[in-house]
Structure 1
């Protein structure tokens, strides 16, 4: 039974990824023909694709809170690569990701075509990335970053790094804090975290072989960036996300516009 479940899930996932690659290729061709950036279209199509990708993963997702009506810099705790399809399905949005993801087969190319910005840790290019984030926000596009800079086991929130939050201040946009939590039978899920020496294939097979788990996503109150330093924004957003992850309140289903 477990082998059949894994086979069916792998087949479903492969179909979704193949269609996503076809879609990204068509949009890329259209951009070359039109000779201009189709970012709004790419973000909408990416949201549609990520919703299907999230649907191919063994999770039951519950969302609480209101989606922002204005473009914002989203900040979230980071547990796994699965955070991206689950959060990206909520609203048209781009991501900031580590540079290694760009080299992942198929997934890296799809992330690039979706408008992902890539940062190489320790390379000193945070100023350049900050400028790219600022342009992205000023053009009215949502962007999500994981200020912890790495994934965790989901049991605690690590220190939020504030250097990239300057872009929100400079662009005059608010922060949208998001808390994401993976559970099994009401307890922290041991399967979902993508940490340590995990490789993508092993984690994927382990995840798809497991029974469905629960994911709780909380869209918290936006944080105005005006009159705050980047470190203040980092500490405040970290604190309210950490608090939300400890809460045991039932979740309601949010409308996804």
Structure 2
């Protein structure tokens, strides 16, 4: 490992090195293990995950024919098993605002979360009883497309001309009593920071009414619950910037297959889901203000998790899904 070189400064006779951990790693180093057992472990996990996805197609289809809420319970079970296959332990902190049963106040819950990897769907899919929103392209991705489809994902088009129709479709699901979850960043990030939020989808919580619109307002009453997802343990050790970016995060032009194989080489991982107190859309003057407020809350939670500011005894189990 080479010694970090000093940064150039304007001051004379000052050559103290400035330590930057990221400079000690090359961008193409994926911070992975590469022994025979590691490669074998990755292959076994990848094959098991693909087999479980195939079984999930049958399971989800069968649950649609069963009475009750089985078709909503099965995705939670499916993602839970998928995380066990990859040896990802999911820790939750705080209280989730919604469940499979309606809230006492009758409000629907819209979960908004940060997004850095395809793993976010697995992790949140295990703990959020909600329908996810994803861009239309995801439906046609190999493996991931099937996985998101099993989770009852609502696919939307990025075309602005069709965005209004997509919003109405999502609102219709809210009217039926379903909760919704989506990633306002619109795409994955490197994991050490957050991208700007797109406020357009916040229209499902705060629709814009025209001045001359005299039709009754039948929009379902909603609350927004910000959710922070952080991958904070790798084989029992805290995760630094480099491993957060090149072990867990999936961004840019990364291919899914190699990323899955590299991820499968590690023996154990942990993801933490932090539930923040819900906020009410009516407390904000616009969708942009609502979007900015949710982003600030999630960003602060991400920083707190990275800096390990939250106590272990703050962990609370999920609500019983009834």
TM, length-normalised to structure 1: 0.87
Structure 1 contact 180–218 (Cα < 8 Å) conserved? yes
Equivalent in the alignment of 1:63: 92
Structure 2 contact 38–265 (Cα < 8 Å) conserved? yes
Equivalent in the alignment of 1:127: 164
Say yes or no: does 1:254 pair with 2:316.
yes
Equivalent in the alignment of 1:204: 260
C-alpha distance in 1, partners of 2:67/2:117?
28
C-alpha distance in 2, partners of 1:20/1:203?
17
Task: Give structure 1 regions of 4+ aligned residues with deviation exceeding 6 angstroms.
Answer: none
Helix, strand or coil at the partner of 2:228: strand
Structure 1 contact 16–52 (Cα < 8 Å) conserved? no
C-alpha distance in 2, partners of 1:19/1:211?
19
Cα distance, 1:27 vs structure 2:
4.0
C-alpha distance in 1, partners of 2:267/2:190?
19
C-alpha distance in 1, partners of 2:111/2:281?
12
Equivalent in the alignment of 1:74: 111
- Unpaired runs of 5+ residues, structure 1, are none
Helix, strand or coil at the partner of 1:174: strand
Equivalent in the alignment of 2:155: 118
C-alpha distance in 2, partners of 1:133/1:143?
8
Alignment of 1:39-118 (within 5 A): 40-69=69-98, 70=103, 71-118=108-155
C-alpha distance in 1, partners of 2:61/2:267?
37
C-alpha distance in 1, partners of 2:169/2:153?
11
TM, length-normalised to structure 2: 0.71
Structure 2 contact 46–264 (Cα < 8 Å) conserved? no
Corresponding residue to 2:301 among 237, 244, 250: 244
Cα distance, 1:39 vs structure 2:
9.6
C-alpha distance in 2, partners of 1:132/1:78?
23
Closer/same/farther in 2, CA of residues 175 and 10 from structure 1, 3 Å limit: farther
Helix, strand or coil at the partner of 2:36: helix
C-alpha distance in 2, partners of 1:205/1:123?
36
Cα distance, 1:111 vs structure 2:
2.1
C-alpha distance in 1, partners of 2:49/2:269?
20
Cα distance, 1:144 vs structure 2:
0.9
C-alpha distance in 2, partners of 1:175/1:83?
18
- Unpaired runs of 5+ residues, structure 2, are 1-33, 207-218
Say yes or no: does 1:22 pair with 2:55.
yes
C-alpha distance in 1, partners of 2:50/2:63?
20
Closer/same/farther in 2, CA of residues 23 and 193 from structure 1, 3 Å limit: closer
C-alpha distance in 2, partners of 1:98/1:12?
27
Structure 1 contact 42–114 (Cα < 8 Å) conserved? no
Cα distance, 1:134 vs structure 2:
0.7
Cα distance, 1:58 vs structure 2:
4.0
Structure 1 contact 130–167 (Cα < 8 Å) conserved? yes
Cα distance, 1:107 vs structure 2:
3.4
Cα distance, 1:12 vs structure 2:
4.0
Structure 1 contact 62–215 (Cα < 8 Å) conserved? yes
Closer/same/farther in 2, CA of residues 202 and 9 from structure 1, 3 Å limit: closer
How many residues align? The count is: 253
Corresponding residue to 1:178 among 224, 227, 234: 227
Cα root mean square deviation, aligned: 2.5
